[in-house]
Amino acid sequence: MNKRDILELLESNAKLTVEEIAIMLNTDAETVREEIRNMEANKTILKYMTLINWEKAGEEKVDAMIEVRITPQRDTGYDSVAERIYRFPEVRSVRLMSGTYDLAVFVEGRTMKEVANFVSTKLATIEGVVSTTSHFVLKTYKQDGVIIDDEEEDRRLVISP
Amino acid sequence: MKNSWGDKISPAVRALPPSGIRKFFDLVTETEGVISLGVGEPDFVTPWHIREASIYALEKGYTMYTSNSGLLELREEISKDLYRDYGVQYDPRSELLVTVGVSEALDLAMRAIICPGDEVLIPEPSFVAYAPVATLAGGTPVLMPTTVENDFRLLPEQVERAITPRTKALLLSYPNNPTGAIMDRKSLLALAEIAKSHDLIVISDEIYDKLTYVGEHTCLSSLPGMKERTLLLNGFSKAYAMTGWRVAYAAGNPDFIGAMTKIHQYSIMCAPITAQMAALEALKNGRPAMKRMVQEFSRRRHLVMQSFKDMGLPCFEPGGAFYAFPNISVTGLSSEEFAEQLLKEEQVAVVPGNAFGSAGEGFIRVSYAYSSDDLSEAFRRMTKFVRRRGVFPKKVTGPYSIDFVRKEGICQNL
């Protein structure tokens, strides 16, 4: 048993109990509990979340990916501008990219107008932001390794030798 | 006059017992809301890269016959794979034959070597096809019951006792379906010595070889002096989740493989090319996905062992495959009664142990080729069922209880 095994199990199913993990990895619950506690403390494990299909829940949400070009700052490079962006709760993720733009910013809102408003009044006006290009998400097929509408089901015979 | 078509069926076929699983299958299909733990195939769908390679092959127009022996490129990869894993060398041109599943390879093997009245030694419980296939080939299956006391391993003295002047072949199938039993190198060496001293052919069905969780699998033909007298059967169904593709292979000396190829070319021609292309991709790039599946099975195996312990059903620790084979005699029920009542009362399907031979009576086969959610729910229901029959876990007491519980293989002692 090592940390990696625990993390793999939790990454695919955060609902697993310490006892279940211990059984699957053939170790005792106390060891697993201790490892998890350590990894939570040192922020290896950041958060336990649930992947939700909001459309199924009847919620309208609008996601957009904004390509942001920024001017790197002396001493901090891209970090200080990135921080000013990622502190907004509307921003779901921020990644520094190689290529023609710098930051890939994922923004979530209830309407297109709300997202557009956020980009034009908050994001684009941050000092150091040179330009923004917004791409609205039309459909999500797969997210975090999970296929959203997976039509593959168990088609095996109920009994086979 | 009404024609009785049944009378026209060959007596040999009429005499064959119907598969014990069939009857139960119908019962399960008629029941609603069933969680089935009765399936003998992985719950994973064939990894996408394999399916994609096969689609690509179709698009490219690979829709024709292949050589009777199978695509040479596939045979070369199989040869490399066997050498890498077990250090045993097979000539892809004369010692390998690609078949339609291990089922066909098994049938070919029997038909190629059995003369009327030859005896084939078969351990029990084991896969449902072994004895019927030997019978259809004109042989006489001689069943050797293995017991939980010996971890369902085949003992050398058992084989010695069963040997007669008519004994032609010994069939081995480890890791075993339905028990999950494995045979370590030392035990296999003892059997190999017997095979050599009595000049027996060994048919070794190693379809579950990759699914070995305790120690390492020993390939029978890798043992000293065994390659020439072994017909090694293996395939892609279990390790690469490719059951429905029906592609497997036989490996053996050129005489055996040549004889089998002769039958194969007249009855089958060749394994489907699409499946062969998929198998090729599995061997070339399938290892990472296969390792992930094996790891997942291994984790579930611990979960299943713990569940039976909590339930109070004694279960020996399976070292391979994806089955657990708990002893249900504490409930006072026979295998079939247990399976039928469990299905009726809790809608959980398991396979009665006696479907795999009379040595399986008193046991049930539980497959853990299911998601942990399905397994948890099935075990919750099964626990209710056995509680109603007065089965509770044995209390482990005393100062050594913790070590005792953690020890591998503990379940057989409970």
What letter does residue B236 receive in the DSSP assignment?
Answer: S
Q: Which residues of B touch A156 (CB under 8 A)?
A: 39, 41, 43
Least CB–CB distance from A25: residue in B34, B299, B408 = B299
From B22's Cα to the closest Cα of chain A, the distance in A is: 8
Given a contact cutoff of 8 angstroms between Cβ atoms, the answer to whether B170 and B205 are in contact is no
Least CB–CB distance from A161: residue in B19, B45, B302 = B19
pLDDT at position A91 over 70: yes
Cβ–Cβ below 8 Å for A156 and B351: no
Least CB–CB distance from B28: residue in A20, A24, A158 = A158
Given a contact cutoff of 8 angstroms between Cβ atoms, the answer to whether B50 and B274 are in contact is no
Q: State the best of B27, B36, B208, B336 to mutate against chain A, taking most chain A CBs within 10 Å.
A: B36
Q: Which residues of A touch B30 (CB under 8 A)?
A: none
Given a contact cutoff of 8 angstroms between Cβ atoms, the answer to whether B118 and B96 are in contact is no
Q: Which residues of A touch B335 (CB under 8 A)?
A: none
Cβ–Cβ below 8 Å for A159 and B302: no
Determine the pLDDT at residue B400. 44
Determine the pLDDT at residue A68. 98
Share of chain A above pLDDT 70, in %: 99
Q: Which residues of A touch B39 (CB under 8 A)?
A: 156-160
Least CB–CB distance from B303: residue in A20, A154, A159 = A20
- Residue for token pair 């000049």: B199
Average pLDDT across chain A, whole number: 94
DSSP string, chain A: --HHHHHHHHHH-TT--HHHHHHHTTS-HHHHHHHHHHHHHTTSS--------TTTTT---EEEEEEEEEPPBTTTBTHHHHHHHHTSTTEEEEEE-SSS-SEEEEEEESSHHHHHHHIIIIITTSTTEEEEEEEE----SEETTEETT------S-SB--
Q: Please state, in angstroms and as integers, the Cα–Cα distance from residue A139 to each residue in A53, A63, A135, following that order.
A: 12, 9, 12
Cβ–Cβ below 8 Å for B302 and A26: yes
Determine the pLDDT at residue A1. 65
Q: Say whether the peptide bond before residue B17 is cis (omega within 30 degrees of 0).
A: no
B81 touches chain A (CB under 8 A): no
Given a contact cutoff of 8 angstroms between Cβ atoms, the answer to whether B98 and B247 are in contact is yes
Cβ–Cβ below 8 Å for B29 and A158: yes
ipTM of the complex: 0.82
Q: Which residues of B touch A158 (CB under 8 A)?
A: 25, 28-29, 34, 36, 38-39, 349
Q: State the best of A31, A147, A159, A160 to mutate against chain B, taking most chain B CBs within 10 Å.
A: A159
Cβ–Cβ below 8 Å for A28 and B406: yes
Q: Which residues of B touch A152 (CB under 8 A)?
A: 45
> Which residues of chain B are modeled with pLDDT < 70?
1, 395-414
pLDDT at position A93 over 90: yes
End-to-end CA distance of chain B: 63
Determine the pLDDT at residue B17. 86
Determine the pLDDT at residue A76. 94
Chain A, chain B: beta-carbon pairs less than 8 Å apart: 55
Cβ–Cβ below 8 Å for B39 and A160: yes
Please write the tens of the pLDDT for every residue from B332-346. 999 999 999 999 999
Cβ–Cβ below 8 Å for A159 and B43: no
From B309's Cα to the closest Cα of chain A, the distance in A is: 12
Least CB–CB distance from A159: residue in B25, B43, B177 = B25
d(CA B410, CA B414): 7
Please write the tens of the pLDDT for every residue from A7-29. 999 999 999 999 999 999 999 99
From B38's Cα to the closest Cα of chain A, the distance in A is: 5
Cβ–Cβ below 8 Å for B299 and A158: no
Cβ–Cβ below 8 Å for B28 and A25: no
Least CB–CB distance from B39: residue in A26, A28, A158 = A158
Q: What is the pTM of this model?
A: 0.90
Q: From the centroid of its chain, how far is CA B185? A: 19
What letter does residue B38 receive in the DSSP assignment?
Answer: B
Determine the pLDDT at residue B412. 39
Q: State the best of B35, B372, B380 to mutate against chain A, taking most chain A CBs within 10 Å.
A: B372
Q: Which residues of A touch B402 (CB under 8 A)?
A: 28
Determine the pLDDT at residue A102. 97
Determine the pLDDT at residue B413. 37
